Structure 1
């Protein structure tokens, strides 16, 4: 069963790595610039935004919409026990939307925005439901290791596809393809990869996630109404666990910063540092490779020092990384690759350990609902960070100002997480406490 869960990360990481992190940001920005007026602005739905802000704003919009979909889907999953069917169903819709990005060309920035919204919503829901499996996959003392291994599988899968994409992009002239066509093929291939490997969790995972027996089936003929009532009950019930909410608040803050760095790194590298598409792909591939070791390394460190202290240490590493990014000279690929190594070292571990730590703070039987809240800010689904990033660029016209504005998320997240008494939080929800936290 664990293998099927690991392969799910292998499958969906293609969307996170190839689409959100590497190709779509710079490419959709170029498409938006093709449609821009003389002032460099586009007007989606009658709004006026800089073409360079269209991608981060669209990411924010997709996440705001995904919040409602995730929460409702989480309650339906926990109520009916159909976690796998919903998880894989959303994965395939997201994969189809990603494959549709092949048709993104010319000045069709609205098409690109629409496909991004659909794909990112489906990605968020599918991954939130996959997280709900973690408490049933491992004992409390094993979850850090299992979660870290899952992230390592994800970065490995994303890295393999990036190698293929890099080879295609570098050889596009020899293949008689334009650079734009090569990028569109890379985008579509991420959707195909996602669809093919989702077959494994579809066959290997049980329908129900978590550790509790299924609750009563939804009232016949009124599943939506029942889900809304369940969602309202979950929101009221979460107030009984203020320490879980405190941890969730810390995570939503610092991980919003992490996800914004990940999703906007290629845009920053291309527009501010003058890096070529080849350099960007190679740098993200470096992140993927280093992140495999980083996730496993921080998992080992957590076994000795505890997950909370290890995550706090990784946040210090993120602050240093952002400061170096702000000071980095343009047109210097060597420095950019150094920054990629630093990101990879702290990226996988900080997220894997945050996920396993949160799994201890969830009441049994409510995994999908609580992880839907958690997934509001996870791989590629942050919204506050891209909004701040886009606004900072809108005001200053500088991506350096945009990237340094993200420091606030890490500082506040560190301060809040440091105040969370994790042992008391686990005891409050009635879960067994692991030996080391």
Structure 2
């Protein structure tokens, strides 16, 4: 027996919609600081340093008795966090769909992640296991919260509003990340003036991301509203969550070209996410760059990602989204190839690499979401975008795992960064094989002049 229909149309009251939309933007403002300050800048180098302090004479740590190179510990922890997330996301999604109580679930995920992030202030000495545990909890909580956060979009915005609303949330996130990174840079560079050590400054920066995340989450929780829903028949919980996900993918088999695009996105996006999470580690460990250089580089990425997205959007209007994304994947491949040859101790070249990443980062992500929206059958937007989010997170463990394994085998971060080229090359060929115009027609949508 299937689920009964659930009303998910946005409110007719424009003022109420705008109020909820403004609150929705501020969750991106709240949680994006974790992605920039913690995952991209500080935690990789700092956790690796802690792991090295705990390592044996051969450079290995032994979590649960497993020998792991200290330099691979962060990458493996990121992979584990993604595996945990993809086990939990279908359960959270199923409970949200069955009960309509998204806000309590969003609050639980957000404050679990914020608390784990704030707890990173306790890292130090040789507490690498604590650091790995907090990373797994925080990263998995962020992923679960984003599924719930995204599920509000069809409820607070009409179809014609969603592109603009989604883009504004994305812009809010990049803006908050840049603002907090500026404050982090001041504290890190002038830690002596503030009377703290460099290690303490890093721990304050890590913990401040958790405080920021928790503090600003209050606003969306006050402004967003849960909608009443009729409870679906059938089993709930973990089994129901996985059954619901399986049913979605069975439905998607009727749209093989949409599924083919999703596979291509799943592959090349894993490369994108791995570059984001491992670039600072590469800069600090292989190139010998200091933390202030890494912070400036990430700020450069944040600012240019916005400009890059706008620029690639204009290119897409002329050449089509598919061709523009394919060009960006070629650019990603060239950027990683250049990264392999970067000289150590040369910040200028690292800044040039960061500028290249920034110019393609925002556009690759924004155009992928936009292109996918044309491949979704009318009336199935929420269902298909749930699968899109699972694809976004679903293989993001493989890139960090490959990165960590390559370093484990070769002892070289240059080889590790070069190994990620495989994701962009394979993603390029998979995407190039998708006949996008036919895919749009098969989904029952009008074909744009440029696609």
With normalisation by structure 2, the TM-score equals 0.88
Distance 1:136 1:413, change over 3 A: farther
Offset at residue 265 of structure 1 (A): 0.5
Aligned to 1:164: 183
Quote the Cα distance in structure 2 between the aligned partners of 1:315 and 1:336: 20
1:93 equivalent to 2:93? Answer: no
Deviates more, 1:381-390 or 1:263-272: 381-390
Deviates more, 1:367-376 or 1:269-278: 367-376
Quote the Cα distance in structure 1 between the aligned partners of 2:273 and 2:49: 22
Quote the Cα distance in structure 2 between the aligned partners of 1:189 and 1:199: 16
1:11 corresponds to which of 24, 30, 38: 30
1:181 equivalent to 2:200? Answer: yes
Unaligned runs of 5+ in 2: 1-19
Which aligned pairs between 1:223-372 and structure 2 lie closer than 5 A? 223-362=237-376, 370-372=384-386
Aligned to 1:115: 134
Quote the Cα distance in structure 2 between the aligned partners of 1:77 and 1:250: 28
On the 8 A contact 2:82/2:396 being kept in 1, the answer is yes
2:62 corresponds to which of 43, 55, 75: 43
| 1:177-222 C-alpha deviation (Å, 9 max, x unpaired) | 11111111101111111112222322333435xxxxx864145995
Aligned to 2:45: 26
On the 8 A contact 1:42/1:49 being kept in 2, the answer is yes
On the 8 A contact 2:86/2:394 being kept in 1, the answer is no
Quote the Cα distance in structure 2 between the aligned partners of 1:105 and 1:19: 15
Local SS of the residue matching 2:404: helix
Deviates more, 1:337-346 or 1:293-302: 293-302
Quote the Cα distance in structure 2 between the aligned partners of 1:395 and 1:58: 17
Local SS of the residue matching 2:126: coil
1:404 corresponds to which of 395, 414, 418: 418
Unaligned runs of 5+ in 1: 209-213
Distance 1:304 1:204, change over 3 A: farther
Quote the Cα distance in structure 2 between the aligned partners of 1:116 and 1:368: 29
Local SS of the residue matching 1:329: coil
Deviates more, 1:113-122 or 1:305-314: 305-314
Quote the Cα distance in structure 1 between the aligned partners of 2:277 and 2:176: 18
On the 8 A contact 1:78/1:367 being kept in 2, the answer is no
Quote the Cα distance in structure 2 between the aligned partners of 1:227 and 1:7: 28
Offset at residue 230 of structure 1 (A): 2.3
On the 8 A contact 2:91/2:240 being kept in 1, the answer is no
Deviates more, 1:150-159 or 1:417-426: 417-426
Looking at CA atoms only, which structure, 1 or 2, has the larger radius of gyration?
2
Which aligned pairs between 1:412-423 and structure 2 lie closer than 5 A? 412-423=426-437
Offset at residue 225 of structure 1 (A): 4.8
Local SS of the residue matching 2:343: coil
Q: How many residues align?
A: 432
Offset at residue 393 of structure 1 (A): 0.6
Quote the Cα distance in structure 1 between the aligned partners of 2:70 and 2:419: 20
Offset at residue 382 of structure 1 (A): 1.6
On the 8 A contact 1:151/1:352 being kept in 2, the answer is no
On the 8 A contact 1:5/1:150 being kept in 2, the answer is yes
Alignment RMSD: 2.6
Distance 1:71 1:172, change over 3 A: same
Aligned to 1:103: 122
